[in-house]
Amino acid sequence: MDLTNPDAYVRDDLVIPRGTLHVSRAKFLWRGACYERIVIENFGLAELATTVSISYEADFADVFEVRGRGGRGGGRRLEPAVEADGVLLAYEGLDGVLRRTRLAFSPRRPR
């Protein structure tokens, strides 16, 4: 996926013209893991300081619910464990099985 920014204003001042920032995103599966690479490039003529945030979530949905055949639902999401280079999302199902998804970030998030 390839995207660029729209015109960005602060009050009435244009601070980032349309097309200045290019964002590319690629996903692939390899050795039992899903990898995602996000690259942000500045095509403007000047250095640009900005903040980037990424939201993520895991729903751990029951396969029967996903297929529209009902399902029991009702497990328990556990508090995310935030680490220096990622986060661990976990869910305990009604069957007592603990399911986890680990997101790893490179480079590490700034402190």
CB 106 within 8 A of CB 85: yes
Residue 88, number of CB atoms within 10 A of its CB: 15
CB 28 within 8 A of CB 13: no
So what's the pLDDT on residue 39? 93
Task: Using the structure block, give the residue that is written with the tokens 């920014």.
Answer: 5
Residue 38 to residue 65: CA distance in whole angstroms? 31
Phi, psi of 86 (to 5 degrees): 170, -160
62-108 per-position pLDDT tens digit: 776 667 666 666 788 899 999 888 999 999 988 888 999 999 988 77
